[in-house]
Amino acid sequence: MMKLLSAQGAFVTDEPNTVSQALQQAGIPHGKWDPALFSGIDYDTLLSNPNLQEAVLKTVAQPLATLKSSFGYLTEDIIGLTPQTPNLGGILKQFRAEHHHTDDEVRVILHGEGIFGIIPSAGKGEPFEVSLTQCDWIVIPENTRHYFYLTEENTVIALRVFKDNPQWEAIYEPLPA
Ligand SMILES: [Fe+2]
């Protein structure tokens, strides 16, 4: 379930309509897939087992196809961060710094929890954070300033989708005014 947090990470609300309104105002597409699709998956081995990843992608084929066709995305993969991830601290430090990309950043949370900080462009509301857990998906449009961090469990597994040639470099300098 998505939770709306303040720009400082304090809980604001998990009332779905209120969370949705904040994201809509900021121009952030989002939604929730059917929880039934996520049951019975061995998340402990998912990141190290390509066959299991294939099986998961088949299980979610229908909503995945809808998401891809809605936004023109072509490819997908499954990634994750866990306490076992090499250099987790260094990776998280990079993600935590405010940045943007020249491609959309799309995530469907399969397991765990991740928090995005959003800095809306002018006229689209104040900065806020949103916490995502299993079934939640979000599209952070290209050139939208944002950052990302984990809860103390340090665990998130997510589906990413991409356009043909993703430009995944994080750009830390602010957008020109
Ligand atoms: Fe990013």
Cα 17 to ligand 1 centroid, rounded to whole Å: 25
Using the predicted structure, report yes or no on whether residue 177 has a pLDDT greater than 90. no
89: containing domain: 3-162
The answer to whether residue 112 is domain-embedded is yes
Q: What are phi and psi of 130, to 5 degrees?
A: -135, 130
**Torsion angle of alpha carbons 96, 79, 129, 90, nearest 10°?**
-10
Q: First CA to last CA across the chain, in angstroms?
A: 34
Given a contact cutoff of 8 angstroms between Cβ atoms, the answer to whether 104 and 139 are in contact is: yes
Q: Which residues contact 85 (CB under 8 A, 6 or more apart)?
A: 91
CATH, residue 95 = 2.60.120.10
Q: Which residues contact 102 (CB under 8 A, 6 or more apart)?
A: 142, 143, 167, 169, 171
pLDDT digits (tens, 9 = 90+) for 88-141: 999 999 999 999 999 999 999 999 999 999 999 989 999 999 999 999 999 999
pLDDT digits (tens, 9 = 90+) for 129-172: 999 999 999 999 999 999 999 999 999 999 999 987 666 788 99
Number of domains in the chain: 1
Provide the pLDDT for residue 166. Answer: 65
The answer to whether residue 172 is domain-embedded is no
Cα 42 to ligand 1 centroid, rounded to whole Å: 27
The answer to whether residue 142 is domain-embedded is yes
The answer to whether residue 175 is domain-embedded is no
Q: Quick one: tokens of 157?
A: 């597994």
The answer to whether residue 49 is domain-embedded is yes
- Give the pLDDT mean for 5-19: 97
Provide the pLDDT for residue 167. Answer: 66
- Give the pLDDT mean for 53-77: 95
The answer to whether residue 167 is domain-embedded is no
Cα 147 to ligand 1 centroid, rounded to whole Å: 6
The answer to whether residue 15 is domain-embedded is yes
C-alpha 101/C-alpha 175 separation (Å) is: 10
The answer to whether residue 76 is domain-embedded is yes
Using the predicted structure, report yes or no on whether residue 17 has a pLDDT greater than 70. yes
Given a contact cutoff of 8 angstroms between Cβ atoms, the answer to whether 116 and 129 are in contact is: yes
Cα 161 to ligand 1 centroid, rounded to whole Å: 13
